[in-house]
Amino acid sequence: MNSTLLEFLLRGAGAIAAYAAVGVILLIIGFYVIDWATPGKLSEVIRTERNPNAALLATSAMGAIGLIVAASIWSSGGKLVEGLAATAVFGLVGIVMQTLAMLAFDRVVGISVRDLVKESELQPGARMLAVTHVAIGLITAVAVI
């Protein structure tokens, strides 16, 4: 194998691993922010109680963060260090905006995440907040690009 090709592949694999690591860290942070906003331990509420509202809110937040990470990678233009930094910063901004949106919906509209995850049946408010998560992820992702 040509050493130039090997160097290219190793550099590319390293970049993928670095972006994946930043993405996983952001997903974990996002999960724990949702956990903070909900009563009980979120992983237990999803796994043991099988609460559909908690699961929908967590998965929509994760999907939105994934959109932001993907847009950050896309817009990096092959500049690894700048791309990783942008991904981390923009991902954190997206998480903050999702959290602020949840708090705003709680205060302004009266849809409480804490109340939603106490319900065992899927609630319309959970659907609305899930779409809000994805919309904020899309808005942030497009702003990055």
Task: Tell me phi and psi for residue 38, to 5 degrees.
Answer: -115, 150
- Number of structural domains (the chain) is 1
**DSSP secondary structure letter of residue 111:** -
Domain that holds residue 89: 3-144
Model confidence pLDDT, tens digit, residues 42-101: 899 999 999 999 999 999 999 999 998 888 888 888 789 999 999 999 889 988 888 888
Q: How far apart are CA 145 and CA 143, in angstroms?
A: 5
Model confidence pLDDT, tens digit, residues 113-133: 888 888 999 999 999 999 988
pLDDT at residue 76, rounded to an integer:
82
Burial string for 48-69 (b: 16+ CB within 10 Å, else e) reads eeebbbbbbbbbbbbbbbbbbb
Question: Coil, strand, or helix at residue 121?
Answer: coil
pTM of the model: 0.84
Task: Tell me phi and psi for residue 45, to 5 degrees.
Answer: -60, -40
**Beta-carbon contacts of residue 142 (< 8 Å; ≥ 6 apart):** 71
pLDDT at residue 2, rounded to an integer:
72
Question: Which token pair is 89?
Answer: 């910063």
pLDDT at residue 78, rounded to an integer:
79
